Amino acid sequence: MTVREVLNEGSGRLSEAAIDTARLDSSLILCHCLNITREKLFASLPDDVPDEALKMFGKLIEMRLDHHPVAYLTGTKEFFGLPFHVEEGVLCPRPDTELLVETVLSLTEKDKALKDVLDMCTGTGCIAVSLKNSDSSLNVSASDISPVAEKVFSINNCTLADGSINFTKSSLFEKIEGTFDIIVTNPPYLTTGETEERMEEGWKEPALALDGGNDGLDLIRIIIGEAPDYLNEGGYLLIEAHPAQMESMKVCMESEGFRDIAVLKDLPGLDRVICGRKGPV
Protein backbone atom coordinates (compact mmCIF):
# COMPACT_ATOMS: atom_id res chain seq x y z
CA MET A 1 0.00 0.00 0.00
CA THR A 2 1.18 3.54 -0.72
CA VAL A 3 1.49 6.26 1.89
CA ARG A 4 -1.57 7.94 0.39
CA GLU A 5 -3.65 4.76 0.61
CA VAL A 6 -2.62 4.06 4.21
CA LEU A 7 -3.29 7.66 5.21
CA ASN A 8 -6.74 7.55 3.62
CA GLU A 9 -7.62 4.22 5.17
CA GLY A 10 -6.61 5.45 8.63
CA SER A 11 -8.51 8.70 8.34
CA GLY A 12 -11.55 6.87 6.96
CA ARG A 13 -11.67 4.55 9.98
CA LEU A 14 -11.25 7.43 12.40
CA SER A 15 -13.92 9.57 10.76
CA GLU A 16 -16.38 6.65 10.82
CA ALA A 17 -15.89 6.74 14.59
CA ALA A 18 -16.74 10.46 14.52
CA ILE A 19 -13.22 11.60 15.43
CA ASP A 20 -13.25 15.08 13.96
CA THR A 21 -9.48 15.34 13.65
CA ALA A 22 -9.40 12.07 11.67
CA ARG A 23 -7.10 13.16 8.84
CA LEU A 24 -4.67 15.00 11.09
CA ASP A 25 -4.56 12.09 13.54
CA SER A 26 -4.01 9.56 10.75
CA SER A 27 -1.12 11.60 9.35
CA LEU A 28 0.52 12.14 12.77
CA ILE A 29 0.28 8.42 13.54
CA LEU A 30 1.68 7.45 10.14
CA CYS A 31 4.58 9.93 10.52
CA HIS A 32 5.34 8.29 13.84
CA CYS A 33 5.31 4.79 12.31
CA LEU A 34 7.56 5.88 9.44
CA ASN A 35 9.69 8.06 11.73
CA ILE A 36 9.41 11.07 9.40
CA THR A 37 8.09 14.65 9.62
CA ARG A 38 4.72 15.69 8.14
CA GLU A 39 6.48 17.62 5.34
CA LYS A 40 8.33 14.42 4.43
CA LEU A 41 5.09 12.40 4.66
CA PHE A 42 3.33 14.51 2.06
CA ALA A 43 6.38 14.34 -0.20
CA SER A 44 6.28 10.52 0.10
CA LEU A 45 2.61 9.98 -0.83
CA PRO A 46 3.38 7.69 -3.81
CA ASP A 47 5.88 5.52 -1.90
CA ASP A 48 5.08 2.10 -0.46
CA VAL A 49 4.72 1.72 3.30
CA PRO A 50 6.99 -1.04 4.67
CA ASP A 51 5.21 -4.00 6.32
CA GLU A 52 6.52 -3.29 9.83
CA ALA A 53 5.26 0.31 9.69
CA LEU A 54 1.92 -0.85 8.29
CA LYS A 55 1.44 -3.29 11.16
CA MET A 56 2.32 -0.66 13.71
CA PHE A 57 -0.04 1.82 12.04
CA GLY A 58 -2.94 -0.65 12.23
CA LYS A 59 -2.30 -1.20 15.93
CA LEU A 60 -2.11 2.51 16.72
CA ILE A 61 -5.28 3.31 14.75
CA GLU A 62 -7.06 0.65 16.86
CA MET A 63 -5.79 2.37 20.00
CA ARG A 64 -6.90 5.78 18.69
CA LEU A 65 -10.37 4.27 18.13
CA ASP A 66 -10.19 3.17 21.79
CA HIS A 67 -9.84 6.87 22.83
CA HIS A 68 -6.07 7.00 23.32
CA PRO A 69 -5.03 10.57 22.49
CA VAL A 70 -2.63 10.84 19.53
CA ALA A 71 0.01 12.35 21.83
CA TYR A 72 0.06 9.16 23.94
CA LEU A 73 0.50 7.07 20.79
CA THR A 74 3.27 9.16 19.24
CA GLY A 75 4.79 10.20 22.60
CA THR A 76 4.89 13.81 21.57
CA LYS A 77 2.75 16.92 21.20
CA GLU A 78 3.66 20.28 19.75
CA PHE A 79 2.93 23.23 22.03
CA PHE A 80 4.09 26.82 21.50
CA GLY A 81 6.27 25.55 18.64
CA LEU A 82 8.11 23.00 20.81
CA PRO A 83 7.91 19.19 20.71
CA PHE A 84 6.88 18.08 24.21
CA HIS A 85 7.36 14.53 25.41
CA VAL A 86 3.99 13.13 26.54
CA GLU A 87 3.06 9.87 28.27
CA GLU A 88 -0.09 8.30 29.65
CA GLY A 89 -0.62 9.74 33.14
CA VAL A 90 -0.27 13.43 32.25
CA LEU A 91 -2.64 15.86 30.54
CA CYS A 92 -1.78 16.35 26.85
CA PRO A 93 -0.89 19.98 26.15
CA ARG A 94 -3.77 21.80 24.45
CA PRO A 95 -3.59 24.77 22.09
CA ASP A 96 -5.97 26.76 24.38
CA THR A 97 -3.27 26.81 27.03
CA GLU A 98 -0.90 28.74 24.77
CA LEU A 99 -2.95 31.79 25.80
CA LEU A 100 -1.48 31.53 29.31
CA VAL A 101 2.05 31.54 27.89
CA GLU A 102 1.34 34.46 25.54
CA THR A 103 -0.21 36.48 28.36
CA VAL A 104 2.68 35.91 30.75
CA LEU A 105 5.17 36.86 28.01
CA SER A 106 3.28 40.06 27.20
CA LEU A 107 3.47 41.02 30.91
CA THR A 108 7.18 40.22 31.25
CA GLU A 109 8.00 42.06 28.02
CA LYS A 110 6.21 45.19 29.27
CA ASP A 111 7.69 45.09 32.75
CA LYS A 112 11.25 43.75 32.83
CA ALA A 113 11.16 43.63 36.65
CA LEU A 114 8.83 40.61 36.48
CA LYS A 115 11.31 37.74 36.62
CA ASP A 116 10.23 35.02 39.06
CA VAL A 117 7.49 32.82 37.65
CA LEU A 118 5.82 29.73 39.12
CA ASP A 119 3.85 27.31 36.92
CA MET A 120 1.64 25.34 39.31
CA CYS A 121 0.10 21.98 38.21
CA THR A 122 2.68 21.96 35.43
CA GLY A 123 1.97 18.44 34.06
CA THR A 124 4.24 17.99 31.01
CA GLY A 125 5.80 21.36 31.86
CA CYS A 126 4.46 22.89 28.66
CA ILE A 127 3.83 26.33 30.20
CA ALA A 128 7.03 26.55 32.25
CA VAL A 129 9.27 25.23 29.45
CA SER A 130 7.69 27.47 26.78
CA LEU A 131 8.20 30.51 29.01
CA LYS A 132 11.86 29.71 29.69
CA ASN A 133 12.41 28.88 26.04
CA SER A 134 10.93 32.21 24.91
CA ASP A 135 12.69 34.34 27.53
CA SER A 136 15.78 32.80 29.10
CA SER A 137 16.11 35.73 31.52
CA LEU A 138 13.06 34.51 33.49
CA ASN A 139 13.55 32.44 36.65
CA VAL A 140 10.96 29.76 36.08
CA SER A 141 9.80 27.27 38.73
CA ALA A 142 7.24 24.51 38.34
CA SER A 143 5.26 22.24 40.63
CA ASP A 144 2.91 19.28 40.44
CA ILE A 145 1.58 16.63 42.81
CA SER A 146 1.79 13.77 40.29
CA PRO A 147 4.84 11.46 40.13
CA VAL A 148 4.22 10.87 36.39
CA ALA A 149 4.15 14.61 35.83
CA GLU A 150 7.42 14.93 37.74
CA LYS A 151 9.05 12.38 35.42
CA VAL A 152 7.60 13.78 32.17
CA PHE A 153 8.36 17.33 33.27
CA SER A 154 11.99 16.46 33.94
CA ILE A 155 12.39 15.00 30.43
CA ASN A 156 10.98 18.17 28.85
CA ASN A 157 12.97 20.38 31.19
CA CYS A 158 16.20 18.63 30.13
CA THR A 159 15.54 18.44 26.39
CA LEU A 160 13.84 21.80 25.86
CA ALA A 161 15.07 24.08 28.67
CA ASP A 162 18.59 22.79 29.54
CA GLY A 163 17.27 21.57 32.89
CA SER A 164 17.06 25.18 34.05
CA ILE A 165 13.59 24.98 35.63
CA ASN A 166 13.34 24.24 39.31
CA PHE A 167 10.66 21.61 40.13
CA THR A 168 8.89 21.07 43.46
CA LYS A 169 6.66 18.03 44.01
CA SER A 170 3.81 19.64 45.89
CA SER A 171 0.10 19.55 46.50
CA LEU A 172 -0.68 23.10 45.35
CA PHE A 173 1.25 25.47 47.69
CA GLU A 174 2.03 22.90 50.40
CA LYS A 175 5.79 22.61 49.68
CA ILE A 176 6.27 25.88 47.81
CA GLU A 177 8.82 28.27 49.27
CA GLY A 178 9.52 31.90 48.44
CA THR A 179 7.50 34.46 46.52
CA PHE A 180 6.97 35.09 42.83
CA ASP A 181 6.19 37.95 40.45
CA ILE A 182 3.82 35.73 38.47
CA ILE A 183 1.94 32.55 39.33
CA VAL A 184 0.42 30.84 36.31
CA THR A 185 -1.65 27.66 36.39
CA ASN A 186 -3.78 25.31 34.33
CA PRO A 187 -5.24 23.32 37.25
CA PRO A 188 -7.88 20.58 37.05
CA TYR A 189 -11.15 22.46 36.47
CA LEU A 190 -13.72 20.01 35.09
CA THR A 191 -16.57 19.12 37.43
CA THR A 192 -16.51 15.64 38.97
CA GLY A 193 -19.59 14.84 36.84
CA GLU A 194 -17.82 15.88 33.61
CA THR A 195 -14.72 13.93 34.62
CA GLU A 196 -16.75 10.79 35.34
CA GLU A 197 -18.53 11.16 32.00
CA ARG A 198 -15.19 11.28 30.19
CA MET A 199 -13.90 8.25 32.10
CA GLU A 200 -17.05 6.32 31.15
CA GLU A 201 -16.50 7.25 27.50
CA GLY A 202 -13.05 5.64 27.82
CA TRP A 203 -11.03 8.87 28.05
CA LYS A 204 -7.41 7.99 28.85
CA GLU A 205 -6.13 11.16 30.50
CA PRO A 206 -5.85 11.03 34.31
CA ALA A 207 -8.78 12.21 36.41
CA LEU A 208 -6.18 13.76 38.73
CA ALA A 209 -5.42 16.34 36.02
CA LEU A 210 -9.09 17.04 35.21
CA ASP A 211 -11.31 16.73 38.27
CA GLY A 212 -11.85 20.03 40.07
CA GLY A 213 -14.66 18.79 42.36
CA ASN A 214 -18.40 19.50 42.42
CA ASP A 215 -18.30 22.74 40.42
CA GLY A 216 -14.75 22.30 39.11
CA LEU A 217 -13.46 25.12 41.29
CA ASP A 218 -12.17 23.27 44.38
CA LEU A 219 -8.48 23.65 43.53
CA ILE A 220 -8.92 27.06 41.97
CA ARG A 221 -10.48 28.40 45.19
CA ILE A 222 -7.48 27.15 47.18
CA ILE A 223 -5.07 28.67 44.64
CA ILE A 224 -6.81 32.07 44.70
CA GLY A 225 -7.00 32.00 48.51
CA GLU A 226 -3.32 31.13 49.06
CA ALA A 227 -1.65 32.85 46.10
CA PRO A 228 -1.39 36.26 47.85
CA ASP A 229 1.03 34.70 50.38
CA TYR A 230 3.29 33.60 47.51
CA LEU A 231 3.07 36.70 45.29
CA ASN A 232 5.22 39.80 45.49
CA GLU A 233 3.32 43.08 45.82
CA GLY A 234 1.86 43.91 42.38
CA GLY A 235 2.47 40.31 41.26
CA TYR A 236 0.10 38.56 38.87
CA LEU A 237 -2.03 35.44 39.17
CA LEU A 238 -3.17 33.85 35.89
CA ILE A 239 -5.52 30.86 35.80
CA GLU A 240 -6.95 28.86 32.90
CA ALA A 241 -10.48 27.57 33.41
CA HIS A 242 -13.83 26.97 31.68
CA PRO A 243 -15.63 30.06 30.32
CA ALA A 244 -18.61 29.41 32.64
CA GLN A 245 -16.32 29.57 35.69
CA MET A 246 -14.92 33.05 35.04
CA GLU A 247 -17.60 35.00 36.94
CA SER A 248 -17.22 32.96 40.16
CA MET A 249 -13.45 33.21 39.89
CA LYS A 250 -13.67 36.97 39.49
CA VAL A 251 -15.78 37.26 42.65
CA CYS A 252 -13.35 35.01 44.49
CA MET A 253 -10.32 37.02 43.34
CA GLU A 254 -11.97 40.30 44.32
CA SER A 255 -12.69 39.00 47.79
CA GLU A 256 -9.01 38.00 48.16
CA GLY A 257 -7.95 41.57 47.31
CA PHE A 258 -6.87 41.07 43.69
CA ARG A 259 -7.21 44.12 41.42
CA ASP A 260 -7.10 44.86 37.66
CA ILE A 261 -8.93 41.59 37.05
CA ALA A 262 -9.23 40.78 33.36
CA VAL A 263 -10.71 37.84 31.45
CA LEU A 264 -8.96 36.85 28.21
CA LYS A 265 -10.29 34.95 25.22
CA ASP A 266 -8.67 31.93 23.56
CA LEU A 267 -8.38 31.46 19.78
CA PRO A 268 -11.95 30.13 19.34
CA GLY A 269 -13.12 33.30 21.17
CA LEU A 270 -14.00 31.70 24.52
CA ASP A 271 -13.20 33.23 27.93
CA ARG A 272 -10.30 31.00 28.96
CA VAL A 273 -7.90 32.85 31.25
CA ILE A 274 -8.42 35.13 34.22
CA CYS A 275 -5.66 37.45 35.35
CA GLY A 276 -5.45 39.59 38.48
CA ARG A 277 -2.88 41.59 40.41
CA LYS A 278 -2.04 41.43 44.08
CA GLY A 279 -2.33 44.43 46.30
CA PRO A 280 -3.83 47.90 46.52
CA VAL A 281 -3.76 50.25 43.52
Where does this chain bind ligand GLN (CB under 6 A)?
94, 186-190, 210
What's the CA gap between 8 and 255, in Å, rounded?
A: 55
Nearer to ligand GLN, 188 or 235 (CB): 188
**Could you tell me the smallest distance in angstroms from the CB atom of residue 212 to ligand GLN?**
6
The nearer residue to ligand GLN, 7 or 184, going by C-beta atoms, is 184
Write down the least CB distance from residue 29 to ligand GLN, Å.
21
Nearer to ligand GLN, 57 or 153 (CB): 153
CB nearer to ligand GLN: pick between 103 and 186? 186
- Give the residue at shortest CB distance from ligand GLN: 189
Name the minimum Å distance from CB 187 to ligand GLN: 6
Amino acid at site 1? M
Q: Name the minimum Å distance from CB 237 to ligand GLN.
A: 16
182: phi then psi, degrees, rounded to nearest 5: -140, 130
Least distance CB 190 / ligand GLN (angstroms): 5
- The smaller minimum CB distance to ligand GLN, of residues 11 and 185, is found at 185
CB of 218 to ligand GLN, least distance (A): 12
Q: Which is nearer to ligand GLN, 6 or 241 (CB)?
A: 241
Q: How far is the CB of 243 from ligand GLN (least distance, A)?
A: 11
Q: Are 231 and 253 in contact (CB under 8 A)?
A: no
SS3 118: strand
Q: How far is CA 171 from CA 3, 175, 232, 246, 250, in A?
A: 47, 7, 21, 23, 23
Nearer to ligand GLN by Cβ, of 33 and 245: the residue is 245
Contact in structure between 110 and 260 (CB atoms under 8 Å): no
